Structure 1
């Protein structure tokens, strides 16, 4: 796992598939997404390497239930005692109480998904004992007030997190950056592409300087402009 500083209080944690983000408010840490099954120990090591105790991790906010984002949440929460949060529609899947609906693949996505699965660990992840359900518009106590933005389409309960005071946006998989050239694009492996495009446009309209994606390199300056230009290329697609 690679640890990359994005801002003095923000680090990217990059896994074989996907990534998570660690936000710091003084000694208090918030993790956005938690990697796949088995990632908890690696994240704990990263927290210590940054000079923090595991107890400093106060919350783990999951942008959606997919394994590469939520699989490590139960393990890490068991190690540090952090609260786990997810949208109320995805929370039962994270808890293991309900199956997650599979993506509706476009033909060109199938080989990409098959390749990604090869890099994910097998077996059931450790489930969090408790998952707090979130709703659109909720404000969380980090980053000067992090606003939950419901961004459905990738999953029914996909969310983004917007930190208006800092101009930072965590998009989950509603938006991604191409690994080839960094082009900002809608996420793949969705339940409903039309809803993803609508979510893309909603997130692009926010006042954002730094955009952090679930896959691909973040945009670290004037991100709102980049997102709006990219969203404009999909006008009329849904």
Structure 2
């Protein structure tokens, strides 16, 4: 059984070897998830929902920060099992739907080595093939999400993918950054996420997120969530030097 880690009284992390999922309790007795892991992760997500006392039909929203395999991988299965709406950035929606060819990242040599290792591990684990998903709601910079009980700001953060998004909850001082921000294994250092389609854009997006005043908790998809001193750690980051 996968661990379920409480981040706040309404947010839990469901860790996976590649691409964590976050479960959010909504005030109407419903739930949302941020990202869905690799293909085949839907049963673990539904199990986590059950452990929180939720039923499949209580999953209202599936928010995808971007189109990569470890984020949208189980969206189609999860939507089919629950009836939840899928929300994603407008520019990434065609790739999630499978109506346009995915843009290719421009990896550094270190990133290329990491990518080859990750893909080999997924193949060895028998990861099912990707199923594309319908996007019910396309999101743009400045949009807000309904039904969360507080303001949830959508931030367009391109560079990792063309239409990547982050979610900023100012009242909770919490950020879902997508793959723009990752952390070291001990959570003490933040780095620019690898495998970017436009590195300079990704760095600019990183700087935008790092400059947010009202953030104490950063729910990263890769690494350990930042739960204390997030502003200082983000201010000390040097994304220009990562993965060179």
TM-score range with shorter-chain normalisation?
over 0.9
| Comparing 50-59 and 65-74, the one that deviates more | 50-59
Asked whether 1:131 is paired with 2:136, we answer yes
Return closer, same or farther for 1:130/1:175 CA change in 2, 3 Å cut-off. closer
Give the C-alpha shift of residue 205 in structure 1: 1.2
Distance 1:41 1:87 in 2: 25
Residues 1-238 of structure 1 mapped to structure 2, 5 A cutoff: 1-26=2-27, 27-120=29-122, 121-141=126-146, 142-179=148-185, 182-206=188-212, 207-231=214-238, 234=240
Normalised by the length of structure 2, the TM-score is 0.91
Give the C-alpha shift of residue 124 in structure 1: 3.0
Q: Check conservation: 1:18, 1:69, Cα contact below 8 A.
A: yes
Q: Check conservation: 2:186, 2:224, Cα contact below 8 A.
A: no
Distance 1:211 1:179 in 2: 14
Gaps of 5+ in 2: none
Give the C-alpha shift of residue 181 in structure 1: 6.0
Q: Check conservation: 1:16, 1:119, Cα contact below 8 A.
A: no
Q: Check conservation: 1:92, 1:98, Cα contact below 8 A.
A: yes
- Encode CA deviations 1:154-173: one digit per residue, 9 max, x unaligned: 00111110001110000000
Give the C-alpha shift of residue 80 in structure 1: 0.6
Gaps of 5+ in 1: none
SS at the partner of 1:139? coil
Distance 1:116 1:182 in 2: 23
Q: Check conservation: 2:183, 2:190, Cα contact below 8 A.
A: yes
- Encode CA deviations 1:127-149: one digit per residue, 9 max, x unaligned: 32343211001000225021100
| Comparing 7-16 and 114-123, the one that deviates more | 114-123
Return closer, same or farther for 1:98/1:145 CA change in 2, 3 Å cut-off. same
Distance 2:215 2:135 in 1: 32
Give the C-alpha shift of residue 180 in structure 1: 5.8
Distance 2:110 2:135 in 1: 37
Q: Check conservation: 1:3, 1:11, Cα contact below 8 A.
A: yes
Return closer, same or farther for 1:61/1:181 CA change in 2, 3 Å cut-off. closer
Give the C-alpha shift of residue 4 in structure 1: 1.2
Judging by fraction of residues, say which structure has more strand. 1
